[in-house]
C-alpha cells in the first residue's frame, strides 16, 4: 500500500498515469504496453533487483488473514514502484523482484538509469513505512525489522516476452542481471539500502544522491566500481516540496540503521551469496584502480580513496585464506605498529579495517618503486650515504617506540618522487621482547641475505639487529654485491654467524670502521642505536 506522501508529489511516486507522463514524457507508458514486440533479444537496460529481508520471520507469526494481507501489500509495494516508473517485471517472488527499465523508442536521451534508481529509492521508502506499520501490530515489536536491499545495474542482457499467461512479464537473463543481484548482496553485506554500479549512477545524470563508494572484485581480476545511493535529487525547476526529498533520504537512512541492527542474521548468508555470484573482493571507501602485487599473506592493489588525494596502496587479506590465526594477527599488527610512528622516512599508513570478508591496510603509494630496483644499476657513494642516513633515521623513529623491523632489505625501502626514502612492510615487525621463532615452530623469519647473527640463531632481538641488516645493505650499495653468498640458506646463515665482516674496496676504505661496527658479530660491539650511527657519520663529515 502506498503511503500518503506518495500521492502528493509527482517526483516522489505518482499514483496515476497522468503525472507519470508529465514527469517522463508521453512515450513511456505507451512503450511499456508495446515493448515486448519492439525489444531486440539483447537489450541495454537498467536492471533492479530488490529483496525484502526478515520477510519470512514476519510471515511465521501472522495468522492466515494477516498473512494474506501482508504478502499482497509487499507485492504491491515492489510492483507499483516499478510500474509507476515505466519498468517491467522479469521475476517476482514473495520477498523479491527483478525489474527491467529500458529506454522508450522515441526518447530524446536514455533515461532508464534515472527511472531504475528512482524506483529503488521509492521502494525503500514504502518498505520503511510498511515496516513501521508491521512493528506497531501486537506481538510484532520484538521481530527483526523489515528492510530492503536493492542492487541496480545498467548493462546488456537477453530480454524477451514471456508466455501470454505471464501477464506482461518479461524474461531477462545475462551478465547485467547477475550484476544487479550481486549488488543487492553487496548492499546487504555493507548494510547499505541501495548499491549501484558507478557507471549506472553516472548515466542517471545526478538524479540520485550518492554516499560511500567501493570496488567489487570479479573472478577475472577486473573490478566494478560501486556507489551507495542515499536520496533522490530534485529536477531543475521542480515544484515538488523539499520535504518530499527529505522524507526519501530519511527513509533510506532508517532502512540502513535497521539493516545494521539485524546484521547478525543477514551477514553470513550475504557473504556466502557474494562468493557464489562471483564477488571476491570489496573494500568500502576505495575505488580500486588495478592489482599491483601479490604477497605471502595479502594481495596488493592501487586504489583511489575518493578524497582528491594521491592514490594509496591497499594490502588486502581474505579472512578465509588467513590460515593460522598468527597470519591475521601479524597483518593487523603491521597497522598497530606503524600508526605509532610519524616520520618522513617511514611509510605513511592511513587506515586499517575489515570489509566483506577481508582485512585491509591502506598505505602510502610509492610510484618510483623500491630500492631493490634502484640497485640494479651502480649507486654512487654520495647517493649510497644519503640512503644510509635516511634509513638510519627511519629505523631510529621506529626503535624509539619499541619496534624492531627485523626484515630490512632493499625491497622494503621505498622511493618517493622527491628522492626521499621510507621504511615499509612491517609484516614481521614485533615488539623488542618477542623471539624471532615465535611465528612458527622453529621457523626463521627474515631474508637470509640481510639476517643478523642473533636472528639466525633464534635469539631474542633488539634494535641492533636492524643495524646489522643496514650494514649488509650499505655494503651492497657501495660495492654492487652482497657480502655473503652460499649454496644453501643454512650455509648463508652460518656465514652471518661466523664469517668476518667483509672489507670494502680501497675507494670506500674510510667507511670500513662504520661497516665494522654495523656488522659486528656480537651485538654489543655494534652501535647502540641508530642515532649513534648518525652521530658518527656526522662526525666523519658524511
Residue-range domain boundaries for the chain: 4-284, 288-364, 371-539
pLDDT digits (tens, 9 = 90+) for 281-296: 677 788 888 888 776 6
Strand runs labelled E in 270-373: 281-284, 287-294, 299-304, 312-318, 349-355, 358-364
Round to whole Å and give the CA distance between 224 and 287: 9
The arithmetic mean of pLDDT across residues 243-263, rounded, is 91
| pLDDT, tens digit (0-9, with 9 covering 90-100), for 188-220 | 888 899 999 999 999 999 999 999 998 887 777
- At a CB cut-off of 8 Å and minimum separation 6, what does 27 contact? 104, 105, 106, 107
Whole-prediction pTM: 0.69
Can you tell me the mean pLDDT for 427-449? 48
Q: Please give the mean pLDDT across all residues of the chain.
A: 82
Q: Looking at the predicted structure, is the pLDDT value of residue 165 above 60?
A: no
**Structure confidence at residue 389 (pLDDT):** 98
CA distance 452 to 347: 23
Per-residue pLDDT at 356: 66
Residue 411: its pLDDT value, please?
A: 92
CATH superfamily of 288-364: Phosphorylase Kinase; domain 1 (3.30.200.20)
**Any residues with CB less than 8 A from the CB of 355 and at least 6 apart, and which?**
190, 214, 282, 283, 284
- Highest mean pLDDT among 107-116, 327-336, 427-436, 512-521 belongs to 512-521
CATH number of 371-539: 1.10.510.10
Confidence of residue 512 (pLDDT cuts 50, 70, 90): very high
- The strand pair at 430-431 and 223-232 is best described as unpaired
The dotted CATH code for 4-284 is: 3.30.70.1230
Q: CA–CA separation, 361 vs 382, rounded Å?
A: 35
The region of weakest confidence among 15-24, 39-48, 456-465 is 15-24
H and E: helices and strands count for the chain: 17, 18
Query: Comparing C-alpha atoms, which of 449, 370, 442 is closest to residue 407?
Result: 449
pLDDT band at 427 (very low <50, low <70, confident <90, very high): low
pLDDT value at residue 46: 96
Q: Can you tell me the mean pLDDT for 287-316? A: 83
Across residues 311-335, what is the average pLDDT? 70
Which tens digits make up the pLDDT trace of 52-81?
999 998 998 888 888 999 999 999 999 999
Residue-wise pLDDT tens digits, 113-151: 999 999 999 999 999 999 999 999 887 878 899 999 999
490, pLDDT greater than 60: yes
Closest CA to 410 of 369, 352, 349: 369
Task: Tell me whether the CATH fold assigned to 4-284 matches the one assigned to 288-364.
Answer: no
Q: Which of 72, 152, 92, 159 is nearest to 120 (CA)?
A: 152
284 beta partners: 214
Residue 508 pLDDT > 90, yes or no? yes
For residue range 400-424, list pLDDT tens digits in order. 988 899 899 999 999 999 999 999 8
478 burial (CB, 10 Å; 0-12 / 13-18 / 19+) is buried
SS3 content of the chain, % helix, strand, coil (to 5): 45, 20, 35
pLDDT beyond 70 at 477 = yes
Exactly one of 80, 95, 370, 407 is catalytic; which is it? Answer: 407
Active site includes 407? yes
Amino acid at each position: 500500500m502506498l503511503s500518503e506522501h506518495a500521492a502528493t508529489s509527482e517526483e516522489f511516486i505518482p499514483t496515476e498515469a497522468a503525472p507519470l507522463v508529465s514527469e517522463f514524457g508521453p512515450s513511456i507508458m505507451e512503450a511499456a504496453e508495446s515493448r515486448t514486440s519492439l525489444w531486440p533479444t539483447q537489450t541495454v537496460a537498467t536492471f533492479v533487483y530488490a529483496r525484502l529481508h526478515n520477510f519470512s520471520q514476519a510471515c511465521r507469526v501472522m495468522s492466515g488473514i494477516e498473512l494474506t494481507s501482508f504478502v499482497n501489500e509487499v507485492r504491491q509495494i515492489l510492483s507499483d514502484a516499478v510500474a509507476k516508473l515505466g519498468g517491467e517485471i522479469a521475476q517476482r517472488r514473495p520477498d523479491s523482484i527483478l525489474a527491467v527499465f529500458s529506454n522508450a523508442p522515441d526518447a530524446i536521451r536514455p533515461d532508464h538509469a534515472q527511472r531504475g534508481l528512482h524506483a529503488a529509492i521509492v521502494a525503500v521508502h514504502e518498505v520503511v513505512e510498511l515496516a513501521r506499520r508491521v512493528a506497531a501490530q501486537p506481538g510484532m515489536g520484538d521481530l527483526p525489522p523489515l528492510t530492503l536491499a536493492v542492487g541496480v545495474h545498467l548493462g546488456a542482457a537477453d530480454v524477451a516476452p514471456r508466455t501470454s499467461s505471464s501477464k506482461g512479464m518479461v524474461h531477462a537473463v545475462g551478465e547485467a542481471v547477475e550484476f544487479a543481484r550481486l549488488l543487492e548482496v553487496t548492499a546487504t553485506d555493507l548494510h547499505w539500502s541501495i548499491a549501484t554500479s558507478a557507471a549506472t549512477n553516472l548515466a542517471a545524470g545526478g538524479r540520485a544522491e550518492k554516499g560511500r563508494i567501493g570496488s567489487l572484485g570479479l573472478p577475472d581480476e577486473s573490478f566494478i566500481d560501486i556507489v551507495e545511493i542515499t536520496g533522490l535529487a530534485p529536477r531543475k525547476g521542480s515544484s515538488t516540496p523539499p520535504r518530499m526529498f527529505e522524507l526519501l533520504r530519511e527513509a533510506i537512512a532508517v532502512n540502513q540503521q535497521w539493516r545494521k541492527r539485524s546484521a547478525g542474521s543477514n551477514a553470513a548468508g550475504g557473504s556466502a551469496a557474494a562468493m557464489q555470484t562471483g564477488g571476491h573482493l570489496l573494500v568500502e571507501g576505495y575505488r580500486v584502480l588495478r592489482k599491483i602485487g601479490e604477497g605471502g599473506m595479502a594481495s596488493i592493489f592501487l586504489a583511489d580513496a575518493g578524497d582528491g588525494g594521491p592514490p594509496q596502496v591497499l594490502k588486502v587479506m581474505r579472512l578465509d585464506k588467513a590460515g593460522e590465526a598468527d597470519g591475521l594477527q601479524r597483518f593487523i599488527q603491521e597497522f598497530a605498529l606503524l600508526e605509532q610512528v610519524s616520520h618522513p622516512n617511514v611509510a605513511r599508513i592511513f587506515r586499517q579495517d575489515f570489509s566483506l570478508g577481508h582485512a585491509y591496510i591502506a598505505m602510502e603509494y610509492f610510484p618510483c618503486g623500491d630500492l631493490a630496483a634502484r640497485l640494479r644499476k651502480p649507486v654512487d657513494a654520495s647517493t649510497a650515504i644519503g640512503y644510509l642516513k635516511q634509513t638510519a633515521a627511519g629505523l631510529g623513529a621506529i626503535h624509539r617506540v619499541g619496534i624492531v623491523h627485523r626484515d630490512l632489505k632493499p625491497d622494503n625501502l621505498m622511493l618517493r618522487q622527491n628522492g626521499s626514502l621510507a621504511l615499509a612492510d612491517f609484516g614481521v615487525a614485533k615488539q623488542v621482547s618477542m623471539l624471532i621463532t615465535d611465528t612458527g615452530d622453529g621457523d626463521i623469519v627474515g631474508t637470509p641475505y640481510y639476517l643478523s647473527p642473533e636472528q639466525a640463531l633464534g635469539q631474542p632481538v633488539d634494535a641492533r639487529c636492524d643495524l646489522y641488516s643496514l650494514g649488509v645493505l650499505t655494503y651492497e650499495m657501495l660495492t654492487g654485491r652482497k657480502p655473503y653468498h652460499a649454496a644453501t640458506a643454512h650455509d648463508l646463515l652460518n656465514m652471518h654467524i661466523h664469517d668476518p665482516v667483509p672489507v670494502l674496496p680501497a675507494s670506500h676504505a674510510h667507511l670500513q670502521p662504520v661497516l665494522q661496527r654495523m656488522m659486528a658479530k656480537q651485538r654489543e660491539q655494534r652501535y647502540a642505536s641508530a642515532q649513534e650511527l648518525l652521530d658518527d657519520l656526522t662526525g666523519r663529515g658524511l
